[in-house]
Every structure is written in C-alpha cells, then in structure tokens.
Amino acid sequence: MPRETTAAKQARARKILDGLQHAYPDAKIALDFKTPLQLLIATILSAQCTDERVNMVTPGLFKTYPTAQALARAKPAKLEKEIRSTGFFRAKTRSLLGMARALVERHAGEVPRDRDALVELPGVGLKTANVVLGNAFGLNEGVAVDTHVQRLSRRLFLTEETDPEKIERDLIAVLPREEWTRFALLLQDHGRKICKARKPECAICPVADLCPSAEV
C-alpha cells in the first residue's frame, strides 16, 4: 500500500481499535489467574502451548505452590512432571524455579510492578512483562506481541517489522497508551475467530475496510 503519514496511520489504528472493540466487547485474557504471581506463572507456561492446556494445568499448580517461596522450594523433577503436558517442560521448569527464586531474593516474593525489574527475572521477556503489567496491575507499559498480534499487525499494515520489539515500537507509536493492553487482547480474539493464519475470513471481518490485506 502507499506510504501513510504517521497521522493517517494513527487515525486508521484508532478506527481499527474502535471496530474491534465493537466486535469483541468482552475481550479478556484467556489465561485463568487471580494474582500477579499466578498470571506470571501461566504466561511462562503458555509459550508454545495453548491457553486451554495451560488452564488445565495451573489449578493444581497454584494450589501446590501458592507463593513464590513455595515455588522456589519445588523439586525440579516433581515440577517437570506437573507441567509436562505444556511442552518444553524442562526449560519451563528452569524458568519457573529461577523466576521464583529471584522474586524471593530480590522482591520479598512479590511480583514487581516495574517492566525493567520483570524482564530481569529468569524466563521473563518483554511480552510476558507486558501481559502481567497490563492484565494483573492495569498498567499500560507496552503492547504484548504474541503470534496473533505479530501476524495481524502486519496484515493490517500497522507495521512492516518481524521482530516483536520493533513491532511493539510501531504499535506504541500509533495507539493511545491507555489502549495498549486492550489492543493486544482484541487482536488475539480477532486472530482466533476471524483473521486466522491460514484462511482469514475477510468477508465477515469487522475491519476489512481498514485492512489493506483484505480480500473482499
């Protein structure tokens, strides 16, 4: 498509946001949690795994390890068995144990409300930090770029980047800060229901008229 000015892209992004909010008024994070620690654990487990599978595993996990202190004391072999069905269970066990021990040692067992402090925890990248800050604390510190956000933001020509950090930078530049967390949730819903990876359903897409990739 022709190059857009920043102002034009901001205006289009706002219209996309409004269209998706109308289509998905109840959009929310798919991971089940009650505390910031639970969301942090669930988000780490969600890498290369469906949210549905994570939600099957976490109730027992949260009951067994209700605090960072309890998780930090977990036996690696036992934890591996408990999270095995989420895939990459050895790497995730290392991340969970490292994260929990760091929380105990650096933050008195509490999940910090600071993005820099979060990404310094083992197993926590920018996406995970943004998910926790936005959904557990209500803080819009960034846009959580998962596979749906990455794919749809490129289809919508809100970015031409492929690197998640660069995609986040481009989205931040065109979206109101107070909508950063919600926009990611809306794209995730839209990506699951209509703008699917293999065959997007452009004919019923609520923002097709704003999407340069739409085949209608």
211 C-beta neighbours (distance < 10 Å), count:
22
24 and 186 Cβ atoms separated by less than 8 Å: yes
Which candidate in 146, 170, 189, 193 is catalytic?
146
118 and 144 Cβ atoms separated by less than 8 Å: no
113 and 139 Cβ atoms separated by less than 8 Å: yes
124 C-beta neighbours (distance < 10 Å), count:
23
Angle between helices 76-83 and 89-107 (to 10 degrees): 120
| 127 in active site | yes
Residue 55's H or E segment, with its range, is: helix 51-64
**Which backbone phi and psi does 207 adopt, to 5 degrees?**
-125, 25
21 and 188 Cβ atoms separated by less than 8 Å: no
Which candidate in 9, 127, 170, 189 is catalytic?
127
SS3 content of the chain, % helix, strand, coil (to 5): 65, 0, 35
Active site residues: 127, 146
